[in-house]
Chain A
Amino acid sequence: MAKSSVTEVRTTQGFDFIRELGQQLRVDSIRSSTTAGSGHPTSSMSAADLMAVLITRYFLYDWNDSHQPNNDHLIFSKGHASPLLYAIFKAVGVITDDEMLTFRKFGSRLQGHPTPALPWVDVATGSLGQGLPIAVGVALAGRKLDQLPYHVWTLTGDSELAEGSIWEGLDKAGYYGLANFTATGPNRVRVGDRSLPGPRPGLRMSCHRDRRPRPRADRSGVGAGARSHR
């Protein structure tokens, strides 16, 4: 695993660059977890392109000032994809490649699952089904209290969609009309040796009273982010 000495700083947001960034996030997820001897590289690789698109194009965040009140929030509900999160932190320059390779080591702030020991992490995740409901709480504060335009993004895992708390969260996001909240997740369940059908793109979530949030389906293949949404 030789290190390249090439460092490129880009603000370009073309999909060629984003695709390359996605590949970097995958490579770094493998490098950190292989160096640690444990971790969840495959769960990180599946979401690498989603996150590459998000952080280059749609995530508004001052990486030099995590206390900026109008920063977006990104909560990894699938906390085990920590290699991906830390690869993002390297890509935006808030940790070095060397620090990224301290993943899971004693004394490192890059713990097995993310915690607010890192200033860009709002809450500890790793107990599945929690990041999304907490993100709903943050979005509720953004919309009803702060009244700021920041957006709250959460990355969910596949199997955690089976947690009842996911329903509790999405139900309230709908009830309170939280347009500043976006959940991003996969559409099939595949953990260990089980493979179960996940929510279908046609899913409609009925809600309290007459408010009906509708999930927006993206059936594009991984890495084909240029395809239009439906």
Chain B
Amino acid sequence: MEQAREATGKPTVVIARTVKGKGFRELENKDGWHGKALPPDMAERAIAELGGVRHLRIDGLKPEPGEPAIKDGKVNVTLPTYKKGEKVATRKAYGDALKALGARPTVVAMDGEVGNSTFAEEFAKAYPERYFEMFIAEQQLVAAAVGMSVRHYVPFASTFAAFFSRAYDFIRMAAISGANIRLCGSHAGVEIGEDGPSQMALEDLAAMRAVHGSTVLYPSDATSTAQLVKAMADQAGISYIRTTRGAYPVLYEDGAEFHIGGSKLVRSDPNDRVTLIGAGVTLHNCLAAADELEREGIKSRVIDLYSVKPIDRPTLQEAAALTRGRLVVVEDHYPEGGLGAAVMEALAADMDPPRIVHLAVRHLPGSGKPAELMDKAEISPRHIVAAAKRLYGL
């Protein structure tokens, strides 16, 4: 241990020859005694053999006082801005926003060797001394974030959304630890296309929603992504943001506000007949469906439910009331535990609960173009139109 303390350049592993139950011969190295308390009579014998009860006190050795080299400070973060209509992938906006947040000296980032895909590399290029490559080791990726949280840093860990499932037990335990960590899962859903189902996160929303005290975000455009990434920096507990591979039009003007627990009414009219609810890529599909419905004379309300947990219940209730309980929820995720489940759970106790058509990925997907796969999964605009009309009784 002395040598370990003084080691330079490399870590130390002390491998000790230990004996289970050491000190009480009746039990030493005996099978069948793992995780068992000694019965009182046996405990008496053991304590006697060990020399009896003692109350030794030690003060231990104190370290020299020291202060961390990095201190938190009030810093203005200038978020990136995007032109409405410009096509930008939300994963790119994540990288841009993370780089902007790097102005705060306690913000750190780590990635599972896919930084050029998650766009964590934007941060890495700007702040290499605060970026930690964790290679293809997702458990260590989350563990490193938890370790940084112990030391009061603001860690952002990113990889493909699908691969956080590999570190799920670490995420679950991080919640028990009260750690403050931020996770970004990119390449979510069938939308990733050609790479096929091994790379598609279709369970992540359910998994992350189930984590104690978690925050789950799924923005649809670059403007909202940047703002939500900033909000995550100040959010306690486990927060998760799901980003999309493909580039889609920026929907919101610079200056539009997004907050944890919020939503956006992207389209609304007093004469709305049906509500379309999406997040991420499916919001774009909802907007395309709304255009088609409008052409057919049906006004629809479109909600960007970017905060999956906590969820904006009042906005959902208002929409349900106005559109007479006609709700279509669309998600690029398996049907269990995701956006649809979140909406249904939020409204289930209402006096007059809505009728919800839930469009989700119900079959095992394969490879193909994003539009082909979304259509096959029945989460494409034409399926949303059909669902809305069915609810409307057409």
Contacts and interface: CB of A to CB of B under 8 A. Distances in A.
Interface string B34-55: 1111111001101100111111
A130 B65 contact: no
Given A23-B23, A60-B63, A136-B143, A10 B9 contact: no
A168 B150 CA distance: 19
Contact of A220 (B5, B17, B179): B17
Contact of A58 (B1, B68, B146): B1
A181 B47 CA distance: 34
A148 B52 CA distance: 41
Contacts of B33: 42
Given A42-B27, A145-B68, A145-B153, A192 B37 contact: no
A164 B167 CA distance: 11
The listed residue with most A CB atoms (<10 A of its CB), out of B37, B69, B148, B178, is: B37
B67 A33 contact: no
A1 B52 CA distance: 9
Interface string A56-69: 11111111000011
A47 interface: yes
B26 to A, nearest CB: 11
A6 to B, nearest CB: 6
A34 B130 contact: no
A191 interface: yes
The listed residue with most A CB atoms (<10 A of its CB), out of B18, B40, B59, B137, is: B18
Given A43-B20, A70-B64, A168 B139 contact: yes
A180 B47 CA distance: 36
Given A30-B43, A31-B53, A127-B173, A137 B63 contact: no
B47 A137 contact: no
A67 to B, nearest CB: 10
A97 B56 CA distance: 11
Interface residues of A, number: 134
Interface in A35-79: 36-43, 45-50, 53-63, 68-73
A110 to B, nearest CB: 14
Nearest to A205: B13
B38 A30 contact: yes
A146 B151 contact: yes
Contact of A138 (B32, B132, B151): B151
The listed residue with most B CB atoms (<10 A of its CB), out of A8, A30, A148, A220, is: A30
A148 B68 contact: yes
A203 B12 CA distance: 12
Contacts of A150: 63, 66
B177 A164 contact: no
B147 A93 contact: no
B32 A192 contact: yes
A43 B138 CA distance: 29
Nearest to A93: B57
Given A34-B40, A50-B16, A60-B62, A172 B137 contact: yes
Interface in A184-198: 184-188, 190-193, 195, 198
Given A42-B34, A134-B147, A61 B22 contact: no
Nearest to A3: B53
Contact of A127 (B11, B61, B169): B169
B13 to A, nearest CB: 4
Contacts of B58: 9-11, 21, 55-56, 91-92
A194 to B, nearest CB: 9
B47 A30 contact: yes
B22 A185 contact: no
B15 to A, nearest CB: 5
B76 interface: no
Contacts of B32: 192-193
Contacts of A212: 10
Contacts of B67: 69, 148
B237 to A, nearest CB: 13
A175 B140 CA distance: 13
Contacts of A201: 15
B140 A215 contact: no
A151 B5 contact: yes
Contact of B69 (A57, A147, A175): A147
B3 interface: yes
Given A164-B139, A190-B29, A4 B14 contact: no
Given A7-B57, A222-B17, A133 B139 contact: yes
B137 A171 contact: yes
Nearest to A70: B66
A105 interface: no
A185 B17 contact: no
A193 to B, nearest CB: 4
B143 A169 contact: yes
B275 to A, nearest CB: 41
B63 A229 contact: no
15 contacts: A3-B53, A9-B59, A11-B58, A34-B40, A38-B35, A122-B177, A130-B170, A133-B144, A137-B145, A140-B132, A145-B151, A185-B16, A187-B18, A215-B14, A222-B22
Given A33-B38, A145-B69, A165-B170, 18 more contacts: A24-B54, A34-B43, A41-B21, A42-B21, A42-B33, A42-B34, A43-B35, A61-B62, A62-B62, A91-B58, A125-B173, A141-B148, A146-B68, A172-B135, A182-B4, A214-B10, A220-B17, A222-B22
Q: Top 5 nearest A-B pairs by Cβ distance?
A: A137-B147, A133-B143, A215-B13, A70-B66, A42-B21
